[in-house]
Amino acid sequence: MQSARVAVYGAGGAPFHHAAVLRRAGHRVDFVFPHDILGGALAGFDVFVMPGGGYRAMFGQLEPLGTEGTRTIREFVRSGGMYLGSCAGSYSAAAVAPSFTELCPAQTEMRLLDATVVNEDGESWGLRSPGIGVLEAENVAPDHPVMAGVASSFEIAHYNGPLFLGAQALARVRGRTSRFTAAEAFLGAEPSDTLADEAAARGVANVVAGACGDGRVVLFGSHPEFGFDILMDDEPGSAVMVRNAVAWQLAESGAPRRPEVDLHTDGAHESHGAAEQVAKLADDLRTRTAAIRARGTGARWLEPAYAMSFFGLTPTEIWTRSLDAVDRLASDAARRAPGTRPDVLSFRPPVEWELDGGYHGVVALLEQAVELLDRAIATWDVDPGPPPTNAYESMRTSPYHLVAGSYLAASGRVAGAALLCTAYRRSPED
């Protein structure tokens, strides 16, 4: 099998799952930042991956790039490269409403595919969420290279993301599974009509593809790289579409590209003793989860009116499973750290870089998780006030969201660290 050179955008969101899927498939995967892109680094890559977003979704991804950076990505694709986007990363390359581009001018240079986002909200966040969890989808293009080996009906994780009309539909939303929570039910009882049901009735697409100049574009409104457990760190069957997309690019473009520009490495820190730091941080995390468990589950902010449901689970179920996952994944990271590439253990982006989530090394991710757990403990008894009107209203303040409420919470950061330790093993020459 040919090995592609894949650039995963590291300046926002959740890039770890794509990296893990493609590293396991034998590809060379590097994280790139706006500085790298503006410096011409994409010329040495076959595929550019834009993952799901961070706290500020598409804004957090695109603003550090500016119009020059997004134009550079578009020219990379037009000259023969591939753009692969998931969730916010797919919205950023679609045909979006002027109301969004007025707020985020950088997106005007990133319209790579004439795929209309049907669940835009016309407001600052950009999207009406169908919900979070596992959708059933239909393979409507079984002869397309991306869909090779995908069943006629398959399950895929969806996390608030866009749905499309236009371009070539590869998969359409078929319906919800019992492991899906409609957005209308994030904070309460589910109504009879939901956006997810409407999407299934209309046959809108959650996977589309097409050409852009001499290059190729694959947009996943859903997350084929996400697993189906609470932290999505398991590799699902839907990940075959990510691997297929890269194989399609290699088949169409010929020999893999080779780097022409060195990547920006100013963020790399001294790695001496990093594995020992991981082990200590894993102990620190387990100490804090034990203290949190001892406080019980009776806090007001954990009630369904305050803490969002997703994946078909109640807030208390999510909370309990997330704490258990922190212990398990922190232990996994500590066990694997001695065999993990030192630069991946120790990488820290410079403080002046604007990152909304994105790539941090294993030590930094675990430190962030400890800090988030400490903040949850410190704010445990703060009166949450009236119930929120938006499920993400208290995303940066509620103990629930700090610990368990998303892949940006403490539990999600530990999952990212564990994925890095699994995917970036030392080579014999290290």
pLDDT digit of tens for each residue in the chain (430 aa)? 689 999 999 998 899 999 999 999 999 999 999 999 999 999 999 999 999 988 888 888 999 999 999 999 999 999 999 999 999 999 999 999 888 888 899 999 999 999 999 998 755 467 899 999 999 999 999 999 999 999 999 999 999 999 999 999 999 999 999 999 999 999 987 777 899 999 999 999 999 999 999 999 999 999 999 999 888 988 999 999 999 999 999 999 876 666 666 665 555 556 679 999 999 999 999 999 999 999 999 999 999 999 999 999 999 999 999 999 999 999 999 999 999 999 999 999 987 777 888 999 999 999 999 999 999 999 999 999 999 988 888 988 999 999 998 889 999 999 999 999 999 998 754 4
| CA distance to 105, 187, 222, 368, 398, per residue, from 375 (Å) | 35, 23, 31, 11, 9
Q: Residue 262: what pLDDT?
A: 63
Residue 398 in tokens:
């509620």
Residue 104 in tokens:
């985020």
Beta-sheet strands, E only, within 325-424: 356-357
Residue-range domain boundaries for the chain: 5-253, 274-423
Taking the CA atoms of residue 229, residue 233, residue 238 and residue 239 in that order, the dihedral angle to the nearest 10 degrees is: 180
Alpha-carbon distance of 41 to 63, in angstroms, equals 19
- Please check whether residue 330 is in contact with residue 414, taking contact to mean a CB–CB distance below 8 angstroms: yes
Q: Residue 191: what pLDDT?
A: 77
Alpha-carbon distance of 353 to 64, in angstroms, equals 8
Q: Residue 260: what pLDDT?
A: 61
Pairing of β 215-220 and β 82-86? parallel
Beta bridge partners of 210: 217
Residue 149 in tokens:
């080996």
H runs (alpha helix) in 82-224: 88-91, 98-103, 195-202
Q: Residue 116: what pLDDT?
A: 95
DSSP-derived letter for residue 241 is H
- Please check whether residue 323 is in contact with residue 261, taking contact to mean a CB–CB distance below 8 angstroms: no
Please identify, in words, the CATH class of the domain defined by 5-253.
Answer: alpha beta
Alpha-carbon distance of 313 to 296, in angstroms, equals 18
Torsion sign, CA atoms 15, 18, 19, 20? positive
Q: Residue 268: what pLDDT?
A: 58
Q: How far is CA 331 from the centre of its chain?
A: 23
The 3-state DSSP class for residue 375 equals helix
Angle at which helices 274-294 and 362-378 pack, to 10 degrees?
Answer: 20
Alpha-carbon distance of 116 to 311, in angstroms, equals 26
Q: 368-391 burial string, b = 16+ CB within 10 Å, else e?
A: bbbebbebbbeeeeeebeeebeeb
DSSP secondary structure string for all residues of 199-266: HHHHT-EEEEEEEETTEEEEEESSBTTS-SSTT--SPPGGGHHHHHHHHHHHHHH-SPP---SPPP-T
pTM of the model: 0.95
Beta bridge partners of 117: 164
Count CB atoms within 10 A of the CB of residue 297.
13
Alpha-carbon distance of 392 to 405, in angstroms, equals 9
Give the residue among 157, 146, 317 at the shortest CA–CA distance from 227.
157
